[in-house]
Every structure is written in C-alpha cells, then in structure tokens.
C-alpha cells in the first residue's frame, strides 16, 4: 500500500529575493514616524529596505515593461526629461496642488467632503479643477454606505503611491487621461510589491460593508482579464448577488474592454446587474482607476 502524499506546507508571505521579509515588520515600521518612504526620490533604497532585499538586487520586474530597480532609479533621476512627466501642464508648465489630490484618498478625511474641497479651492480652468469636476461626475455612492474617518490607519501602498504622485508630477485623472498611452518605469515595481491597484481606505470600507450585508460570497475582480471571454465565463459561473470590480474608469482600453468601461459592458451584456457604486481609486500617473459594485437585480 503506497504512502499518501502529504500536501505541501503552506508558506507565509514572501518577497522575491528576500529570506527575511516579514509584513508584520513593515507595518510596525509604518506605525513609527517618519515612515521609510523614499528620501530625495531614492526609490531603490526605500524598496530594498522595506522588503528586506539584497543591496545588489537585480530582480527584473515585468508589467508594461521589464525593468530592474537600478533602471527604475535612473529613470526617476532623469525627472521630466524626454517628456517622462508629460501628463499635462498648466499655462506656466507646472502641475500644482498634487497633495490636494492625494489627500482626497486619505483615511483621515471623509471622501465626499474631500472631493468638494478639492473642487471648491481649485483655480478656474486649472488641472485641479478639471480633475475634481471629472472625479465628482463619475462618483456614485448610495447614502446608506457611510465611510468613517480613521486617524491611525496604516496603508504603505497609499503612502508610496502619494510619493509617486509628487515625484511624477501627477495631480489626478481628467477627461483627457484616456488618450494617454504612456506610463512610467515605477509601475512594474509597484504592481509587483503592492498589487495592481492602491487599496484606499474608502474602497476597503465599501467592500467590508458589502460583505457584511451580503448573505452570499462577494465576487471581487481586480483588473479582470477580458480576453477569451474570461470575465463573461466568471460571471456565468457566479451564483451570488454582489460583484466588485477594481479597474480602469475610462475608455483607454488599459487591461479592459476596448473603447468600453466595465460598467458599460455590464449594462450591455449582463442586464441582470445594476451598478450601485463607482468611486475613484488612487490612480497611478497616467491612469484612471475606480471601484465598481454591481448588484444582481431582484426577481
């Protein structure tokens, strides 16, 4: 009689190239100020320290491009040379109020009020005004979903993202963002270490509330694959009532349906669902991302 094969022992969280990485250590570091964010825009050192990587780390990150940390740092050091920060410019060639944009997603603020402040304090026809008006026009959140404020919330992904916005001179998406086809060398690194989207406090609270109020499992799709009818097949198999999608909010086609947003596809192809939530996510430079919630309609 053969001896049954034991299943492999589950491994804990890993960071490729590190034998000592421990996420609990990262969160403890983040509870102490100043937090280990890039100093003088030195992302390479900050990533190595945060994820306990070797000093000579040569790992190749793959996404829209294949890069090493050293190559990413070199690109950062070149700044806006070669149009690397050419998302938009005001009349004076600057992007202002970047912090006002990143603060919209701070857990210490109420998102709806933060968006109002983002818009009301913007100069007419400024990039800030364009972005604020656009984000407000896309927002849908039912009144029964209340997002609390949280003063001591730890979110390294959000803090690193806020740094990238300052570094890359990004003040938020506008209606013209969907025409952008460029991105930045930093993105593969962030997708590898933090995931495809930045989990804002508001987004996590929405998912939490949807989960608590749902008798079935909630289906979460993060940048769902649209090729080979993957998204269609997943929804065909899903028997629950609530679908949450994190992905592109415009029609750029970035890892999404060509010339069509996910909510437009749902409205056309899955008429049994209705959209109940659409809120902006912290968007990486040149991108426009949001969290959508779709509820299956009653009989």
pLDDT tens digits in sequence order for the chain, 299 residues long:
556 666 666 577 888 888 889 999 999 988 887 788 999 999 999 999 999 999 999 999 988 789 999 999 999 998 888 777 777 765 555 677 899 999 999 999 998 899 999 999 888 888 899 999 999 999 999 888 899 999 889 999 999 999 999 999 999 999 988 888 766 789 999 999 999 899 999 999 999 998 886 667 899 999 887 776 888 899 999 999 999 999 989 888 776 677 788 899 999 989 999 999 999 999 999 899 999 999 998 76
| Model pTM score | 0.90
Q: How far is CA 86 from the centre of its chain?
A: 20
| Residue pair 43/186 in contact by the 8 Å Cβ criterion | yes
CA distances from 281 to 17, 154, 210, 284, 288 (A): 30, 17, 17, 9, 8
Residue 154 three-state SS: coil
**Count of C-beta atoms within a 10 Å radius of residue 159:** 15
């Amino acid at each position: 009689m053969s001896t049954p094969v034991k299943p492999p022992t589950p491994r804990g969280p890993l960071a490729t190239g590190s034998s000592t990485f421990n996420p609990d250590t990262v969160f403890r570091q983040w509870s102490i100020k100043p937090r280990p964010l890039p100093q003088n825009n030195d992302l390479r050192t900050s990533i190595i320290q945060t994820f306990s990587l070797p000093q000579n780390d040569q790992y190749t990150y793959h996404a829209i491009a294949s890069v090493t940390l050293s190559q990413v740092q070199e690109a950062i050091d070149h700044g806006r040379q070669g149009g690397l920060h050419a998302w938009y410019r005001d009349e004076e060639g600057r992007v202002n109020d970047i912090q006002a944009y990143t603060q919209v997603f701070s857990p210490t603020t109420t998102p709806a009020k933060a968006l109002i402040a983002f818009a009301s304090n913007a100069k007419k026809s400024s990039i800030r005004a364009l972005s604020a008006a656009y984000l407000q026009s896309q927002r849908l959140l039912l009144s029964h979903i209340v997002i609390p404020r949280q003063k001591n919330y730890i979110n390294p992904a959000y803090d690193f993202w806020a740094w990238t916005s300052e570094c890359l001179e990004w003040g938020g998406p506008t209606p013209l963002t969907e025409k952008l086809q460029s991105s930045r060398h930093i993105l593969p690194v962030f997708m590898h270490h933090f995931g495809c989207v930045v989990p804002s406090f508001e987004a996590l609270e929405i998912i939490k509330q949807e989960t608590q109020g749902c008798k079935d499992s909630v289906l979460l799709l993060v940048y769902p694959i649209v090729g080979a009818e993957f998204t269609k097949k997943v929804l065909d198999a899903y028997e629950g009532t609530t679908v949450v999608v994190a992905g592109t909010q415009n029609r750029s086609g970035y890892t999404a349906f060509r010339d069509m947003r996910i909510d437009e596809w749902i409205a056309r192809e899955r008429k049994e669902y209705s959209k109940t939530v659409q809120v902006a996510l912290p968007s990486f430079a040149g991108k426009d991302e949001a969290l959508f919630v779709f509820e299956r309609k009653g009989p």
